[in-house]
């Protein structure tokens, strides 16, 4: 540390020892020319100088201050004796070729002459508060990043259209967190560019076209391949031209990147579980603030959320495609059923007519017996075709109804009589204490529903010879219960019983049917504002209950 100049009117000898041994930067600037008479190692470090500057004027030492208010402010303090403080003032130092920002609390204090006539110098004390300032800024940045991350998560969670969600989020990423923002996804042996955003559309166009012309293989040398293999993130605080030249092999890409003034970068993997599905790149340009470990932590959390969103979108699209294919298949099946049913209807009608004509003739008993069986099978086939036609009409929303007041008790009796005539193996008991039970119904469709339940009851009780039908009323509803004592239905099959084409095959595979009777019955009853329910126990029988609104 230098001594006071010869003839100096300021006595600072008592400060010499203290100034030499403290870490706070201290300077004594004397006279109107602001000659540095005292300075310590901490001061030299801040200014990037050495002890040779002692005895020189401030502007000789730091000529860049010529047009700044700092020298004049020091003179004012010296002239007026009024001190001055500057909190968190910014200064710059160069370390290892990298310019770093540091922060100081400055205080300027006038030093009086020994004779008490005015002030001869200014004492400048600069306390390094960089750690405190950066800690505060990091806390603020952490809060801002957390708020942003939550916002990004909400945007991604609210939309299964991930492309639009990412596009919206990119408007926040650029330029607040990055100047370049891109997402790459693994596609076989390649790494496809899923999304890229920059405020300069020319750069975006170049990036997209370059990737199209020169696809990036996942095994190609470089940071992307390393991240895909290891799952490790990359943080580059400072991107230098030499680094670009060393890491980019493609001449065109290298020249373009050198012209973009890249400054700092983060590349993080996107993971679904332990599977790496791609990478996300964040790049700052134009000598902006370098990325830190805090930024890296944010980028990793952000990538995790995007990875989950992309996976959810993929699963959603896959499910949507499967549903679309299923709907398309169902539509084609309905079209086929409708067409086939119409094609079968005409020859069946003719066949039934010919059989009826033959039945009127005088035939031997043997032939008469065969003819009756042929007519019975023709009737079954006609009923099946009619069901298929109804099925296609339901699918097309064209199943028509014509409502009128119907005596439900009489209709049930007619259905029982018809069933016993066609299937004489079972006796159907009918019980009801009601008289003139009227419902608003389509007589033909209601008859179809009741006949379906009766034929099912007979069909699925091969070891029994009876079926019971009960008609009751409660409040403004009537209920038809059809009970058999047959093979029953497993409990786990009951929820699917009224689905189209559903059959309980493992109950009795030998019983024929397409699994559409109960589906049609349910559709008919619901069109009458009614409900259908079932109770069953294996090997003990089944009860179907129809509930319909009564009509006055």
Distances, alpha carbon 86 to alpha carbons 108, 112, 126, 127, 385, in Å: 9, 21, 9, 11, 96
Using the Cα atoms of residue 338, residue 340, residue 346 and residue 352 in order, give the sign of their dihedral. negative
Give pLDDT tens digits for 281-297.
Answer: 999 887 667 888 888 98
Using alpha carbons only, give the angle 474, 417, 537 rounded to the nearest 5 degrees. Answer: 55
Per-residue pLDDT of the chain (552 residues; tens, 9 = 90+): 444 444 444 445 555 665 666 778 889 999 999 999 988 888 888 788 888 999 999 999 988 888 888 889 999 999 999 999 888 777 665 555 556 677 888 899 999 988 878 899 999 998 888 878 776 776 666 666 667 666 666 666 666 666 776 777 777 678 778 888 898 889 989 999 888 888 888 888 988 998 888 888 888 888 888 999 999 999 998 888 888 888 888 888 888 888 888 889 999 998 888 889 899 999 988 766 788 888 898 888 888 877 877 777 777 778 888 888 887 877 777 666 666 666 676 777 778 787 888 878 788 888 888 887 888 777 777 777 777 777 777 777 778 888 999 999 999 999 999 899 888 889 999 999 888 899 999 998 899 999 999 999 998 898 888 999 999 998 899 999 999 999 999 998 998 898 887 877 655 555 666 778 898 899 999 999 999 999 999 989 999 999 999 987
What's the pLDDT score for residue 3?
A: 45
Cα–Cα distance, 239 to 250 (Å, whole number): 17
Nearest to 542 by CA among 497, 500, 484: 484
Q: Domain coordinates of the chain in residue numbers?
A: 13-128, 136-309, 404-549
What's the pLDDT score for residue 178?
A: 86
In CATH, what is the architecture of 13-128? 2-Layer Sandwich (3.30)
Q: Are 472 and 486 within 8 A, CB to CB?
A: no
CA 450 to chain centre: 49
What's the pLDDT score for residue 149?
A: 61
What's the pLDDT score for residue 508?
A: 55
Write out the DSSP string of 478-503. Answer: EEEEEEE-SS---GGGGGGTTSTT--
What's the pLDDT score for residue 4?
A: 45
Which helix (H) or strand (E) covers residue 267, if one does?
Answer: strand 262-272
13-128 against 404-549: fold identical: no
Cα–Cα distance, 293 to 272 (Å, whole number): 23
- Sheet of 98-112, strands arranged across: 35-39, 25-30, 119-128, 98-112, 84-95
The C-alpha torsion from 289 through 290 and 292 to 298, rounded to 10°, is: 70
Nearest to 466 by CA among 479, 457, 474: 457
Global model pTM greater than 0.75: no
Cα–Cα distance, 28 to 38 (Å, whole number): 5
Using alpha carbons only, give the angle 260, 262, 266 rounded to the nearest 5 degrees. Answer: 135
**CATH 3.40.630.30 corresponds to the domain 136-309:** no
**CATH topology for the 404-549 domain:** Heat Shock Protein 90 (3.30.565)
């Amino acid at each position: 540390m230098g001594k006071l100049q010869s003839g100096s009117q300021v006595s600072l000898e008592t400060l010499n020892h203290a100034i030499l041994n403290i870490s706070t930067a201290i300077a004594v600037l004397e006279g109107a020319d602001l000659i540095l008479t005292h300075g310590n190692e901490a001061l030299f470090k801040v200014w990037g100088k050495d002890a040779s500057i002692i005895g020189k004027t401030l502007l000789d030492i730091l000529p860049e201050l010529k047009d700044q208010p700092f020298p004049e402010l020091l003179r004012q303090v010296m002239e007026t004796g009024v001190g001055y403080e500057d909190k968190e003032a910014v200064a710059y130092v160069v370390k290892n070729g990298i310019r770093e920002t540091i922060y100081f609390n400055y205080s300027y204090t006038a030093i009086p002459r020994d004779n008490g006539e005015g002030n001869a110098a200014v004492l400048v004390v600069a306390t390094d508060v960089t750690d405190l300032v950066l800690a505060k800024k990091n806390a603020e940045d952490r809060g801002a990043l957390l708020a942003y991350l939550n916002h990004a998560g909400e945007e991604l969670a609210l939309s299964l259209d991930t492309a639009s969600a990412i596009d919206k989020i990119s408007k926040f990423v650029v330029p607040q967190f990055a100047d370049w923002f891109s997402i790459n996804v693994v596609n076989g042996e390649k790494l496809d560019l899923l999304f890229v955003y920059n405020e300069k559309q020319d750069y975006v166009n170049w990036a997209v076209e370059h990737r199209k012309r020169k696809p990036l293989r996942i095994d190609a040398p470089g940071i992307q391949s390393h991240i895909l293999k290891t799952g490790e993130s990359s943080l580059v605080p400072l991107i230098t031209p030499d680094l670009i030249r060393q890491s980019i092999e493609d001449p065109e890409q290298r020249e373009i990147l050198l012209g973009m003034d890249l400054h700092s970068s983060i590349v993080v993997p996107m993971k679904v579980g332990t599977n790496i599905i791609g990478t996300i790149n964040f790049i700052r340009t134009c000598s902006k603030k370098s990325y830190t470990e805090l930024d890296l932590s944010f980028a990793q959390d952000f990538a995790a959320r995007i990875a989950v969103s992309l996976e959810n979108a993929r699963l959603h699209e896959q499910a949507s495609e499967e549903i679309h294919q299923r709907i398309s298949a169902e539509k084609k099946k309905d079209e086929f059923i409708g067409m086939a049913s119409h094609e079968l209807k005409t020859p069946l009608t003719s066949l039934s007519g010919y059989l009826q004509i033959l039945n009127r003739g005088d035939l031997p008993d043997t032939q008469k017996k065969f003819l009756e069986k042929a007519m019975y099978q023709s009737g079954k086939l006609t009923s099946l075709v009619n069901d298929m036609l109804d099925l296609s009409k339901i699918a097309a929303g064209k199943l028509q109804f014509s409502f009128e007041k119907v005596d439900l008790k009489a209709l049930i009796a007619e259905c029982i009589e018809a069933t016993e005539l066609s299937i004489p193996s079972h006796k159907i008991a009918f019980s009801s204490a009601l008289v003139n039970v009227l419902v608003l119904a389509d007589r033909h469709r209601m008859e179809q529903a009741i006949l379906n339940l009766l034929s099912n009851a007979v069909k699925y009780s091969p070891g029994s010879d009876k079926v019971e039908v009960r008609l009751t009323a409660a409040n403004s509803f009537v209920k038809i219960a059809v009970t058999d004592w047959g093979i029953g239905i497993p409990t786990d099959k009951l929820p699917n019983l009224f689905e189209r084409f559903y059959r309980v095959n493992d109950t009795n595979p030998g019983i024929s049917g397409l699994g559409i009777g109960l589906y049609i019955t349910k559709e008919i009853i619901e069109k009458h504002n009614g409900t259908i329910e079932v109770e069953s126990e294996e090997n003990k029988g089944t009860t179907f209950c129809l509930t319909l609104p009564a009509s006055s």
